[in-house]
Amino acid sequence: MLGDTLPWLLVGLTAVGALLLLREPIRCLGGLCLRTLVSLGALAAFSPLGALLGCSLGVNLANALVMALLGAPGFGLLLLLNWALAV
């Protein structure tokens, strides 16, 4: 009986220990995912307005990550890059 449950007990304790050690990085990654989703929503909301203003940004993961990491300055950076690289 103990021979069958001991490996599972060790695996469970190892998993709990790993989760305790990685608690802060997992929380930061979750926050980044949430900010990325919010940024995707902001890009999607800006898309029709940007077409009227003459500057459009793509609604994609790269743009959303830039906005998630840098916030409002990231949005300005994306607009500046769009303007500077326009042909």
Residue 2 lies in a domain: no
pLDDT in tens, 24-38: 999 999 999 999 999
Determine how many CB atoms are found less than 10 A away from the CB of residue 68: 21
Number of compact structural domains in the chain: 1
Residue 1 lies in a domain: no
Token pair for residue 78?
Answer: 């994306």
Query: What is the reported pLDDT for 54?
Result: 84
Q: Which domain holds residue 85?
A: 25-87
Position 5 pLDDT exceeds 90: no
pLDDT band at 1 (very low <50, low <70, confident <90, very high): low
Residue 44 lies in a domain: yes
Residue 13 and residue 19: Cα distance in Å, rounded?
Answer: 10
Residue 26 and residue 72: Cα distance in Å, rounded?
Answer: 24
Are the C-beta atoms of 70 and 77 separated by less than 8 Å? yes
Q: For residue 26, how many C-alpha atoms fall within 13 Å in the half-sphere facing its CB?
A: 6
Residue 46 lies in a domain: yes
Residue 74 lies in a domain: yes
